[in-house]
């Protein structure tokens, strides 16, 4: 069974970056991390959290925890910030190309872009402490720019936080071969081809337990979310 370290950036006396709407980076990173933890645990993955509340945890303590727990990979979660409101891309950071971290990042980044519709900042290299000092492969998601007002409004909502968590989960699931792209309950269904098509396009997803539940009714909100993802794709 896989063992994953989740690292919600900042916390406690360190708020991280701040948005004009009052949102603090540490709130977003924790909210997304807690949803991601649930999704991974539901899929049978063991999760080690560097923090589960609003507390101070030093970078050294985070690294020591993950190394001591001998995790298989580390997912560090942050939100970017700039001095001007314009930048709004989403990107994934690794220490260096050529290893397992790059492999994870190359699976994760397209999921983040597809789920958010934000401009693709790509996979980037950075000499971040958490990426450098951990024994296991580590990737760090910068989930858009909190300094971009439209992005900050999305990051402040539970729906936005869940969208990001699910995208990270899908990326990690692809790497861990959790086979979530192949739900077990669509074979032979009259809509099997259509379901495969919308899943491949990232318009709709399966459940963390590996089911799609093809005959479950969708709410108007779920239908609107799926149609919005189609519209986003048409605009790009
Ligand atoms: Zn940060």
Examine the residue annotation and report whether 142 is marked as an active-site residue of this protein: yes
Q: How far is the CA of 94 from the centre of ligand 1 (A)?
A: 14
Question: Are residues 201 and 112 part of one domain?
Answer: no
Q: Which of 69, 142, 192, 235 is catalytic?
A: 142
Question: Residues 10-67: pLDDT tens digits?
Answer: 999 999 999 999 999 999 999 999 999 999 988 889 999 999 999 999 999 999 999 9
- pLDDT at 198 exceeding the cut of 70: yes
* Centroid of ligand 1 to alpha carbon of 223 (angstroms): 33
- Residue 202 forms part of a structural domain: yes
- 183 CA from centroid of ligand 1 (Å): 34
pTM for the whole structure: 0.78
Say yes or no: 63 and 172 in one domain.
yes
CATH number of the structural domain spanning residue 77: 3.40.630.40
Predicted local confidence at residue 181, as pLDDT: 46
Q: How many domains is the chain built from?
A: 2
Please give the Cα distance from 97 to 103 (Å, whole number).
9
**Residue 172 shares a structural domain with residue 207:** no
- Contact assessment for residue 24 and residue 18, using Cβ atoms and an 8 Å cutoff: yes
Residue range(s) defining the domain that contains residue 70 = 3-176
Whether residues 33 and 86 fall in one domain: yes
Q: How far is the CA of 77 from the centre of ligand 1 (A)?
A: 7
The verdict on 124 and 215 lying in the same domain is: no
Phi-psi region of 179 (alpha: psi -120 to 50; beta: other; left: phi over 0): left
Condensed to tens digits (0 to 9), the pLDDT of residues 137-148 reads 999 999 999 999
């Amino acid at each position: 069974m896989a063992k994953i370290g989740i690292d919600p950036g900042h916390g406690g006396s360190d708020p991280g970056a701040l948005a004009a709407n009052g949102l603090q980076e540490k709130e977003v990173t924790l909210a997304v991390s807690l949803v991601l933890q649930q999704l991974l645990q539901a899929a049978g993955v063991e999760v080690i959290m560097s923090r589960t509340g609003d507390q101070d945890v030093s970078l050294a303590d985070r690294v020591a925890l993950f190394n001591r727990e001998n995790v298989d990979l580390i997912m560090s979660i942050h939100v970017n910030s700039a001095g001007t409101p314009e930048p709004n891309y989403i990107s994934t950071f690794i220490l260096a190309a050529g290893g397992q971290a790059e492999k994870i990042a190359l699976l994760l980044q397209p999921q983040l872009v597809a789920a958010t519709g934000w401009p693709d900042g790509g996979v980037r290299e950075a000499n971040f402490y958490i990426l450098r000092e951990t024994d296991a492969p580590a990737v760090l998601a910068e989930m858009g720019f909190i300094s971009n007002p439209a992005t900050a409004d999305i990051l402040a909502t539970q729906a936005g936080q869940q969208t990001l968590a699910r995208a990270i989960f899908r990326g990690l699931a692809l790497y861990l071969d959790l086979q979530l792209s192949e739900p077990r309950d669509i074979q032979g269904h009259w809509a099997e081809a259509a379901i495969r098509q919308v899943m491949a396009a990232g318009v709709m997803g399966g459940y963390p337990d590996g089911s799609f539940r093809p005959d479950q009714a969708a709410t108007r909100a779920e239908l609107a979310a799926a149609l919005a993802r189609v519209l986003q794709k048409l605009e790009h």
